[in-house]
Structure 1
Amino acid sequence: MRTGRVAGMAKWGATALVGLALLAGAALAVYALRTLAPLDGRLAVAGLAQPVQVRRDAADVTHIAARSPQDLWRALGHVHAQERSWQLEFNRRVMHGTLSEVLGPATLETDKLMRALDIRGAAQRQYAGLPPQAREALQAYSQGIAAFHAARPQALTPEFLLLGVTPGRDGGRDGAPWSPEDSVGWALMMALDLGGNWGNEFARLSLLRTLDTERLWQLMPPYPGEPPATATDLAALYRGLGVYARDDAAATPVAAASKGLQGLAGAIDQARSDWAQALAQEAGSNDGKGSNNWVLAGARSASGKPLLANDPHLGLSAPAIWYYAHLQAPAGPAADGSTIGAIDVIGATLPGLPFVVLGRTARVAWGFTNTSPDVQDLYLEQIDAQDATRYRTPQGWAPFEVREEVIRIKGQADLQLQLRATRHGPVLSDVQASHGQVLDLSKYVLALRWSALDADNQTVLAGLQANQAQNVAELQQAFRHYHSPMQSIVMADVDGAMAFQAAGRVPLRHPDNDLRGVAPAPGWEARYDWQGWLDHDQAPQDDGAQRGWIATANQRITAPGYAHFLTQDWHLPYRYERIAQLLEARPLHDLDSLAAIQNDVTSLATQRLLPALRTAAAQAGHPLAVQAAQLLLDFDGRMDAQHSAPLVFAAWADELARGLIVPRIGSARFAATYGKRDFRAAVEGILARDDAWWCAPHTCAEQSALALVRALDRLQAAYGAQPAQWRWGRAHPAESRHRPLGSVAALARFFNVQTPSSGDAYTVNVGQYNAGDVAGGAFVNRHAASLRGLYDLADLESSRFIFQTGQSGNVFSPRYADMRDAWAAGQYRPLQREPAQWRHQLLLEPGG
C-alpha cells in the first residue's frame, strides 16, 4: 500500500513537472508572439497628421509612403521603434553614459568615457546650431519613437525583461525614449567608431617606453613606400619630458564586481563587463575599420551607364546596424514657412537617424568608405607642480575646466565624477585607466582635440539633403555639410555623371608642427595647435575621366604632391590593389561581375608571406609539417571557408607575430595593442629585411619554422590530427554578436547570429578577426561587410543589397537572421522602389 502510494505520488510529481514545463513553454510562446511587430492591418499613431502606408516587399524592405515629410519622419521613427527598440535603448544609454544605471558597475568605465567626451552635451550644442528644417525632421522622428512607446502595440523584447530596463528612464536626464538631440548624438557615435586615431597615438607613446624611435616605425610602419610623417626622435622627446610612470601600474579590474556571481544573473553581469571593456578599449582606434566602394563610367559598363558598388565594413552585431527602407513623401511646407523638398529614396537607414545613409533616389546612387583622416590629436598637458588645478599653456598656467557628473550604478551608491578639460578638450586620463599605467599623472595628463565635438558639426543636415538629390551635382552640394567622420564618397547618376569626393572636416596643422598628429604633443607649445580647416574644395576629389573608374578601400587617396597632410595612418592598400586588378581584368562590367568582386576572397597580403610559410613547412620539425606542406602546394592565397590552408596560414602568421614582437615589448604591452593592430606590416618588413634584431635569438627563418610548430600544435589540439579536415570557416565564423547578451553562454546561441565565413582583413570580402582574443575566438570574424549594395544607373530597379542578419531586432522573429546564409554565400536581394508585390501592408492612422 505504502509503495503504491509513493509510486503514485512520484507519478503525480512527474506529471506536474511536465505540466508546469508545458505551461511555461506555452507562456513563453504566447509572450514571443506578443513581442512580434504587427506588419499588417491598421495602427493608430499619435502625432500623425494623415495616414501613412507601411508596406514590406518580398525582399523585406520597408516602404513608407506619407503625404508630408513630417509624417514620413514620424512613421520612420515608429517603424524603427517597432523593429529595433532594444537597439535604440541600448545605443541611447551608451552615448548618454547611463548603462550602469541598469547594468551595474560592470559598465562603469564605458559610462565614464562617454561622460568625459560629453557626447550628449556636444549633441545638444550641435542640434541648436542646425537650421530649422533639420531640427524639425529630428523632432518628428523622435515623436514617432515616443508615439510607439506611449501606445505599444506589442510587448517589449526579452532584453528589457532579462535586464530590467524600462525605455526612456535614463538617469533622469530627460525621460523620453529618444530625443532629437539623440539623433545628433548617434551620428557622433558613428564618428567615434570610424574617425578615431587617438588609440594609435597612445599606442606609440606606450611602445616608446620600450622601443627607440627607429624600432617604433618598424613595428608601426608608415604607409608603404613613405617615410614617417615626423622625423622627430619621439623616444628622446618623451624621455626628456619625463612623462612615464616609474613602474607599470596594476590594471584596473573593470569587472571586479561581477566575480563570484553564479547562474544566469552572474553570466549576464560578466557579459556586460565583456562588452564594456571591449568598447572602452576600441574607442579611439579605427584600425581595420574600413570599407570598399567603386564606380565605373558608362564606357566600362555593359549597360552603357555607370555602375556603383559599396560594402562598408563595420563591427558585426545582432541586430545589424542597418535597417533597409524606402522613404517617400511629396514636397511640403516646413514649420518656418520654407518648403521641404520631395523625398523618394531607398537604402540603408541607421536606427536613430531619420534618413537613408547609403542608397539611391530615382536618379542617383552613392556609397561611402572611411577616409580616416587624422582628426584627433592627443596633447600632453603639464600640471603645475605648485597648484594641481592648473595646467601649462602658451600664455602661462591656466585652470582646468571642471564639471561634475553623477553616474547612477545599479546596486551601488551613485558615483560623483569630477571631469577636467583643457583648451584642447576633455582630459581622457581622468577616465581611461590605461593612461595611468603609462603616464606619470602627477606631472602630465592627456587631453583630446577631436573635430567631431565642435558645435558646427552638421552631418545630419548632409544626410537629410542627400535624400532629396536627383543628380551628382545635387549630392555634392548636400555633402558640403558633411562634417564627421570624413567619408570617401563615390556617386553616379542616370545621366552618366560620376564622381568621387572626400567630404568632411580635416584640421590644418602649423608648418612648424613637426609631430603632425602622429603622437601626443606638448600642449603648451602653440605650434601644435590646429590652424583652421581644409577647404571643402581642396579635399581629394576625382571625376574618373582618366581611367573610367574610381575605387577607394581606405588606401591613400591623395595623389603624389598633394599639398595638405591628412594622415599617415592609411590602411595597407591590399584591398584596393585587388579591386583594381579585377576592374582592369575585363573591358566591360555588369552587376554580376561587381558582385563577384565584392565576394572575392583572394588575399594579396597572404600571397606576400606564402613563400616564407612554405619554407617554414619544409624546415619545421613537426609530425604534421609534411601534411601542412602538401596543403600549401596549391594554395594561392584564397581565404576560402571550405579549405584548410587558410587556417594554417592564419595560425602561423599569428604565432610569428607573437614570437617576433613579445620578447621586444613585453607580454603586457603586446596584449594591450595586439588585435586592434595585427602588426602584419611589421612582420612583412622584418622578414623582408631578415632583421636580426627582431628575430634574435634565432634567425628569421628559424623563427618562422618555430612559429609553424606552435601553430600546428595549437591547431591539432583544437581540430585533431588530420590537417586535410581542418576548415577555415569553422575557425573563422562570422559572428554578429548581441550586446550584451551575446556574451552569455546560455543565451548566445539564441541572440548571436553566426555562420562560417571566408576572407581575412585584406580580402575584398573582408573577414577581420582579433587574433589577440584567444579566449573569445582568435579567428572569429567580427568585422566584415555590414551590407553590400550594387547599382546599375541604366536600370536602378535592378539594384541589389544584402546584410548579415535580418530586418527585425527581435530574437523571436523569423526575420531576425533570415539574410545570414545569403550574405555568407554572396547572394543578394532586390532593392526596388516599385516591387512587383507586397508581403505585408500596414496603415498607420492619426490617433492614439
Structure 2
Amino acid sequence: MHRGLRWAGFAAAALVALLAAASCGGYLYLRLSTSPQTNGTLELEGLRRPAEVVREPSGVVHIRAADEHDLFFALGVAHAQDRLWQMEFQRRVGAGRLSEVLGRAALEQDRFLRTFGFYRAARSAYRSLGPEGRAAVDAYVAGVNAYLRTDPGLPLEFRLLGYEPEPWRPADVLVWAKMMSFDLSANYESELERYRLRARGLEPPRIAELMPPYPEDGPVILPEGGGASPQAERQAEALLRLRRSLPVSLEASNNWVVSGRRTESGAPLLANDPHLGLGVPPLWYLAHLKSPTLEAVGATLPGVPGVVIGRNRDIAWGVTNVGADVQDLYVLEEARDGRGYRYRGEVRPYRVREERIEVGDGEDVTLRVRETVYGPVVSGVVDAPGARPLALRWTSLEPEDRTIEAFLGVNRAGGWEEFNEALRLYKAPSQNFVYADEEGNIGYVAPGKFPVRREGHSGLAPVPGDGRWDWEGSVPFESWPRALNPREGFVVTANNKAVPDSYPYRISLEWAEPYRAERIRRMILSAGRLGVKDMVRIQQDRRSLLFEDFRPVLEDLGPLGPRARQWRERLLRWDGDARPGSREAALFEAWYTELTRLPAREVGRRYWDEPRYLLRAMRRGDRSCRPSGGRGDCLRFAARALERALERLGEEVPEWGAAHRAVFEHPVLSRTPLARFAGREVAAGGDAYTVNVGPYDPASFRMDSGPSYRQVVDLSPEGRSLYVIPMGQSGSPLSGHFDDLLGLWSGGGYLRMRTAGYEADDALTLRPAR
C-alpha cells in the first residue's frame, strides 16, 4: 500500500518445511492455538474495572468500559486478539526492522524507512502529547501487553517465522500514523518526477503539457473560499500564475454530506469510502466503543486507539485526502570534503546518525544518515537523478505531532465548535473532513499544518537548499478551509481542488482528476430528495466519465480492421457503466491503457496516465505522435491502440471482472507457497476515475487498492446507518472471520452500524487480575 516500498518475502523452502510440520495432527494444534478467547472471563493486569468485549456474528466488536482508560485498554486487547500479526508487521515497517525477521530481502526497505526516520518521529510525537493523549496511548499499550502476558496462541506468521512479539511501546502506536501520513503525502514523489523529466531534457512548458493543471471548470470543494479571511492580494495573484502549470495528484477517496433540505427524512446523510491498499488483513477494524465520556462507532486502525471514521452520539464525520503539499526537496551544495553543505552563506556540518539494521540471515548493516536543517538526506534511497544530495522537509518528521489527540477529541465532540476545537491539534496528513450532526448542521474543514512558502517557490520541484526557499510559517487555524451549512446544501470531496484561486494561501498545486467529484455532484443534483438507498447507489456507481470524454475520439479514429470496426460500434453504443460483467468495459480500459503509452519514449515510462494530456493530443496533435505530430497521426495511434487492445484481450473479449481482479495479498505469505491459502481475489468493476473506484496495474489489470471501508450514516432519529470492510475482522486465515465480509463488500452489501439491538455471538468479560 505504500508507494515506493516493495514488501519482501522470505525463503520458500523453510516455509514449506514448517507448513509440513504443522499438517495433519499438528494442524489441529495450530488451529486451536491461534484461536483467541472470545467467551467467558479473562483476567488481565492493568485493567481497573471489568469491561465487556462483545462480538456480533459478523465479528464486529462492541466494547463497554467504566472509563476511557479501560475502554482503550480493552480495544488494545481486542485488536491484539484479531490482528496481532498485522500490528506486529505495521510497527516493524515503521521502525525499519523487517530485515530482522525477513532477512536480506527486506534490507532495501529498511534502509529507506530508517533514512526517513519514521520511528524517531513517532517517539518524538509521543513526548509532545498532552496528558489525555498520553493516557490514551498508554492505556492502549497496556492492554496489548496485558494480552501478550496471558501467553496466547500466536498467529500463524509468528510460528512460521519462528519468533515471538516484543512488548508494545507507545511509539509503536504512533508510528503507523506516520506511515499513513507518508502514504497520503505524495508531493515529494511528484517533485522527483519533475526533476527526472528535467534531467531528461524536457523544458517546463512541455512538462506542463504532459502533466496538465486542474481544469478551470472542474468542481471545487469550497467554491466560495470557505472560512479563510482575505489576505494580501499580491499573494493570491502570485498563486493564480503558479496554478497554470500544475500536475495532478493520484490519491483517491470519496466523501460527501447532504443537509436535511435534500433528504427524505429531513436529517443529514453522510457517506465516505477511503481508497487505500487492499490486503490481508484489511486496513480497518469495525468497532463500537462506549464509556461514560466517549461513545463512537465506525472504523478503527489496529494498533491505534479510537475511531478514525464514523459517528458518536451527536456527530458523524468522514475523511478523504486533501493532497496538501507538506513536503519539499532541497538540492544541497555540498562542501568539498563532503562533510557539510552550504546554507545561508556558511558551511553547515551534517548531523550524522547511525542506524544499526539487524539482518536475520546475514551480517548486520550500519547505515549512516545525514541530517540537515531541513531533514534527512534521502537521495541515496529514492530514485533521484544527478549526484547532488537531496534533503527532505516534511511536516510529519517534525518533533511535535498531536494528531492522535485530535481524532480522540473528534470522538468526544458534541457539535461543530467542539469538532473544530478538537481539530486544532491536527497536523498531518491533512484530510477533507465532512461533518453532520443531530441538530441538522453539515460542514467541512481541512485541518493540518500547511507550510507558507515565499513567492516564487511553487513546491512543484526541488529547490536549492541554501536558505533562500525556507518555509515562512504555516496557515493559521482560523484560516483553514472550512464551511458550515453551505448554500448548496451539500459538500462533495473526492481529492479534487479544495479551494478557489482567491483563497490567500497555497494548500496544494496538485489535485486529483475531477471525474469522481463531478459524477457524485451530478447524481446528488439529479436525485431529488435522497435516502440511504440513494447514498448507497452513488457509492456503488461505476459510470465512467473518462469514457464520456474519450467517446468522441472513438468516432474519429483512423483506419480500422473489420474486428476493430465492429467493436468500435459496440463501444459507441455502450452506456459507460464499467460493471464487472461488461465486455465493452474490458475493451475500453484496455484501449485507454494502450493510449497511455503515447509519450513512453519521451518520458521514460511505459505508461503515462494523464487523461487531459491524452485528450489534448487526440484533439490537437502532439509531438509524441509520429511522424509529424499532427492530429491525424494521433488518431492513427489511437486506432492502432484499439487494435492492440483487442490483440491483448484475445479472440474473445472477456468480461471486465474476469480480467480486472481485486487482489488481497498477505504482505509476507503472498511470496510463498502459502499465497493461495492466505490471499483472495474477486471480480471487480470500475477504474481509477469511477466513484466505485477500481484502479489497476496497466500491465496486468490487477487491482490492489480501492474502497478500504464504506459507510453511510443517517442522522435521523430512526437512522439506518451502514458500514463494511473487505475481507473480515480476523487476520487469521484459520478463522471464520478471515474473509466472511468479502462477498458482502464485493457485491455492494453492507452491515448495519449498530450501537444497540445487535445480536451477540460471543461475549468476553475482562476482569482486573487478582
TM-score normalised by structure 2 residue count = 0.91
1:663 alignment partner, one of 589, 592, 601? 601
Indicate the residue corresponding to 2:232 in structure 1: none
1:76 and 2:75 correspond: yes
CA apart distance, 1:293:
0.7
1:688 and 2:619 correspond: yes
RMSD across aligned positions (CA): 2.3
Indicate the residue corresponding to 1:91 in structure 2: 90
Q: Distance in 2 between matches of 1:790 and 1:516?
A: 38
Indicate the residue corresponding to 1:648 in structure 2: 587
Change in Cα spacing, 1:22 to 1:504, as seen in structure 2 (3 Å) is: closer
1:487 alignment partner, one of 405, 419, 431? 431
1:620 alignment partner, one of 548, 551, 560? 560
Q: Distance in 2 between matches of 1:770 and 1:818?
A: 26
What does 1:352-371 correspond to in 2, within 5 Å?
Answer: 352-371=303-322
Q: Is the partner of 1:761 in helix, strand or coil?
A: coil
Q: Is the partner of 1:844 in helix, strand or coil?
A: strand
Tell me which structure has the larger Cα radius of gyration: 1
The answer as to whether partners of 2:661 and 2:683 remain within 8 angstroms in 1 is: yes
Change in Cα spacing, 1:780 to 1:561, as seen in structure 2 (3 Å) is: same
CA apart distance, 1:180:
1.1
1:350 alignment partner, one of 292, 301, 326? 301
1:476 alignment partner, one of 408, 414, 420? 420
Q: Is the partner of 1:532 in helix, strand or coil?
A: coil
Indicate the residue corresponding to 2:669 in structure 1: 741
Q: Is the partner of 1:531 in helix, strand or coil?
A: coil
1:817 and 2:739 correspond: yes
Indicate the residue corresponding to 2:323 in structure 1: 372
1:446 and 2:436 correspond: no
CA apart distance, 1:24:
3.4
Q: Is the partner of 1:115 in helix, strand or coil?
A: helix
CA apart distance, 1:629:
2.3
Q: Is the partner of 1:686 in helix, strand or coil?
A: helix
Indicate the residue corresponding to 1:705 in structure 2: 639
Indicate the residue corresponding to 2:764 in structure 1: 842
Indicate the residue corresponding to 2:7 in structure 1: none
Q: Distance in 2 between matches of 1:496 and 1:24?
A: 58
Q: Distance in 1 between matches of 2:248 and 2:43?
A: 43
Q: Distance in 2 between matches of 1:836 and 1:317?
A: 28
Q: Distance in 1 between matches of 2:365 and 2:522?
A: 56
Q: Which moved more, 1:690-699 or 1:395-404?
A: 690-699
Q: Distance in 2 between matches of 1:73 and 1:305?
A: 31
Indicate the residue corresponding to 1:161 in structure 2: 159
Higher helix share: 1
Deviations 1:661-718 (A, max 9, x none): 11223xxx315xx4xx6233321222232224545457001100111122111111xx
Indicate the residue corresponding to 1:597 in structure 2: 538
Q: Is the partner of 1:55 in helix, strand or coil?
A: strand
1:182 and 2:172 correspond: yes
Deviations 1:410-448 (A, max 9, x none): 22111111110111111001333x22xx112xxx11110
CA apart distance, 1:164:
2.6
Q: Distance in 2 between matches of 1:802 and 1:395?
A: 57
Q: Is the partner of 2:24 in helix, strand or coil?
A: helix
Indicate the residue corresponding to 2:508 in structure 1: 567
2:513 counterpart letter in structure 1: L
Change in Cα spacing, 1:613 to 1:181, as seen in structure 2 (3 Å) is: same
The answer as to whether partners of 2:723 and 2:753 remain within 8 angstroms in 1 is: yes
What does 1:380-399 correspond to in 2, within 5 Å?
Answer: 380-384=331-335, 386-399=336-349
2:490 counterpart letter in structure 1: W
Q: Distance in 1 between matches of 2:553 and 2:163?
A: 53
Change in Cα spacing, 1:297 to 1:231, as seen in structure 2 (3 Å) is: closer
Instruction: Determine what percentage of the aligned residue pairs are the same residue.
Output: 37
2:281 alignment partner, one of 310, 313, 319? 319
The answer as to whether partners of 2:441 and 2:485 remain within 8 angstroms in 1 is: no
Deviations 1:164-210 (A, max 9, x none): 33212xxxxxxx2x211221211111111112310000011101122
1:576 counterpart letter in structure 2: A
1:309 and 2:299 correspond: no
Deviations 1:766-818 (A, max 9, x none): 111121xx3xxx21111111111011111375210011111011111111111
Deviations 1:724-744 (A, max 9, x none): xx1111111111221121233
CA apart distance, 1:103:
0.5
Q: Distance in 1 between matches of 2:497 and 2:123?
A: 34
Deviations 1:551-589 (A, max 9, x none): 111100102411111111100111000000000012210
What does 1:124-139 correspond to in 2, within 5 Å?
Answer: 124-139=123-138
Q: Which moved more, 1:37-46 or 1:362-371?
A: 37-46
Indicate the residue corresponding to 2:4 in structure 1: none
2:330 counterpart letter in structure 1: Y
Indicate the residue corresponding to 1:504 in structure 2: 448
CA apart distance, 1:21:
9.3
2:203 counterpart letter in structure 1: D
Q: Distance in 1 between matches of 2:662 and 2:609?
A: 18
Change in Cα spacing, 1:770 to 1:681, as seen in structure 2 (3 Å) is: farther
Indicate the residue corresponding to 2:229 in structure 1: none
The answer as to whether partners of 1:194 and 1:286 remain within 8 angstroms in 2 is: no
Q: Which moved more, 1:189-198 or 1:465-474?
A: 465-474
Q: Distance in 1 between matches of 2:142 and 2:450?
A: 34
Indicate the residue corresponding to 2:208 in structure 1: 217
The answer as to whether partners of 1:631 and 1:644 remain within 8 angstroms in 2 is: no
The answer as to whether partners of 1:119 and 1:188 remain within 8 angstroms in 2 is: yes
Q: Distance in 1 between matches of 2:627 and 2:37?
A: 65
What does 1:396-435 correspond to in 2, within 5 Å?
Answer: 396-432=346-382, 434-435=383-384
**Count, aligned residues:** 728
Q: Is the partner of 2:137 in helix, strand or coil?
A: helix
Q: Is the partner of 1:359 in helix, strand or coil?
A: strand
Indicate the residue corresponding to 1:790 in structure 2: 712
Change in Cα spacing, 1:816 to 1:286, as seen in structure 2 (3 Å) is: farther
Change in Cα spacing, 1:30 to 1:223, as seen in structure 2 (3 Å) is: same
What does 1:245-264 correspond to in 2, within 5 Å?
Answer: none
Indicate the residue corresponding to 2:227 in structure 1: none
Indicate the residue corresponding to 1:769 in structure 2: 696
2:460 counterpart letter in structure 1: V
Q: Distance in 1 between matches of 2:754 and 2:180?
A: 27
Q: Distance in 2 between matches of 1:505 and 1:753?
A: 39
Q: Distance in 1 between matches of 2:533 and 2:741?
A: 19
Change in Cα spacing, 1:52 to 1:695, as seen in structure 2 (3 Å) is: farther
1:518 alignment partner, one of 453, 460, 468? 460
Indicate the residue corresponding to 1:537 in structure 2: 478
Q: Distance in 1 between matches of 2:683 and 2:372?
A: 48
Deviations 1:367-396 (A, max 9, x none): 001011100001101112x22111111232
Q: Distance in 2 between matches of 1:215 and 1:374?
A: 22
CA apart distance, 1:462:
0.5
1:631 counterpart letter in structure 2: R
The answer as to whether partners of 1:797 and 1:831 remain within 8 angstroms in 2 is: no
Q: Distance in 2 between matches of 1:800 and 1:439?
A: 51
1:827 and 2:749 correspond: yes
Indicate the residue corresponding to 1:730 in structure 2: 658
CA apart distance, 1:488:
0.6
Indicate the residue corresponding to 1:678 in structure 2: 609
Q: Distance in 2 between matches of 1:445 and 1:750?
A: 44
1:722 counterpart letter in structure 2: E
Change in Cα spacing, 1:25 to 1:558, as seen in structure 2 (3 Å) is: same
The answer as to whether partners of 2:320 and 2:494 remain within 8 angstroms in 1 is: yes
Deviations 1:455-508 (A, max 9, x none): 221101001111111222221211111110011101111111111001111000
The answer as to whether partners of 2:296 and 2:311 remain within 8 angstroms in 1 is: yes
Structure 2 stretches lacking a partner, 5+ long: 1-18, 218-236
2:671 counterpart letter in structure 1: S
Q: Is the partner of 2:452 in helix, strand or coil?
A: strand
TM-score normalised by structure 1 residue count = 0.83
The answer as to whether partners of 1:217 and 1:228 remain within 8 angstroms in 2 is: no
The answer as to whether partners of 1:196 and 1:375 remain within 8 angstroms in 2 is: no
Deviations 1:39-96 (A, max 9, x none): 2112122211211111012443200101121111111111111100110110010010
Change in Cα spacing, 1:65 to 1:291, as seen in structure 2 (3 Å) is: same
Q: Which moved more, 1:211-220 or 1:804-813?
A: 211-220
